Amino acid sequence: MENREEKKGMPLLGDKFPQMVVQTTRGPMTLPDAYAGKWFVLFSHPGDFTPVCTTEFVAFQKLYPKFKELNTELIGLSVDQVFSHIKWEEWIKDNMGVEIEFPIIADTGAVAETMGLIHPGKGTNTVRAVFIVDDKGAIRIIFYYPQELGRNMEEILRSVRAMQFADKNRVAMPADWPNNDTLKDRVIVPPATDVYGAKERLEKAEQGEHVCLDWWFCHKKV
């Protein structure tokens, strides 16, 4: 077999998370191996001791137990030294009453370059990126936010829950699931790929297994 040139550039959806050894507030870690068998959310922030980032870390920590219920870990990152992360954690605990329990990567710039976290149009700090990685080490979702906008942690939690539900049940999720205006918490049956599948969808609809608005738009309760 012909050798393929190693893929370079920022990772894309479906790619394996790049192997890397990182220094964190909880000691050195090897990613993604440290979370083998678990999902994890890697999120970057522009810098320690900044107001928006502080509110984000407090929000992430408050939802941390819910992420853990989904077999999902959190890990933060910025181009700051470990002692800065530690002092910032102490400030958050002393002034906001929240103790940060997940690790924060102290990046020298290597991780940011590998993951595409520096966007020149938004300055030299890391953008607010989110990588949701599944229990097999594959990148399933990528979000990018500008430095001016804090993230919605409930949406990140919803995204993890939805992807896990979709994988388990082999379905797709409608907008705003599980609170879609039309379908409520029902899920989308994957569309047919040939005439036989289209016919089968309609037959199952007649049997009450799911509801079809047309052969290509079927939904069901799980």
Pick the CATH number of 170-222 from 3.40.50.11540, 3.40.630.30, 3.40.47.10, 3.30.1020.10: 3.30.1020.10
pLDDT per residue over 4-56, tens digit each? Answer: 444 556 889 999 999 999 999 999 999 999 999 999 999 998 889 999 999 99
pTM of the model: 0.90
Q: Facing residues of 219 across strands?
A: 188, 211
Beta strands in 10-71 (DSSP E): 20-24, 27-31, 39-44
Question: Which string of b and e fits 156-178 if b means at least 16 CB within 10 Å?
Answer: bbbbbbbbbbbeeeebebbeebe
Query: What's the pLDDT tens digit per position in 112-143?
Result: 888 888 776 665 577 789 999 999 999 999 99
Backbone angles phi, psi at 199, to 5 degrees: -65, -40
Give me the pLDDT at residue 62, please.
98
**Which entry of 53, 104, 112, 218 is annotated as an active-site residue?**
53
Q: Tell me what the mean pLDDT of segment 145-150 comes to.
A: 88
72 vs 82: CA distance, rounded Å: 23
Arithmetic mean of pLDDT, 99-107: 96
Q: What share of the chain is helix, strand, coil (3-state, %, to 5)?
A: 35, 25, 40
Where in the chain do CATH 3.40.30.10 domains reside? 20-150
| Distance from the first to the final alpha carbon of the chain | 44
Report CA torsion sign: 201, 204, 209, 213: positive
Q: What is the mean pLDDT of residues 185-198?
A: 89
pLDDT in the model for residue 105? 96
Per DSSP, 138 falls in state B
Domain 20-150, CATH: 3.40.30.10
Listed in order, the ranges of the chain carrying CATH 3.30.1020.10 are 170-222
Burial 114-131 (b: 16+ CB within 10 A, else e): bbbbbeeebeebbbbbbb
Residue 204 burial (CB count, 10 A): 16
Our answer to whether residue 212 is catalytic in this structure is: no
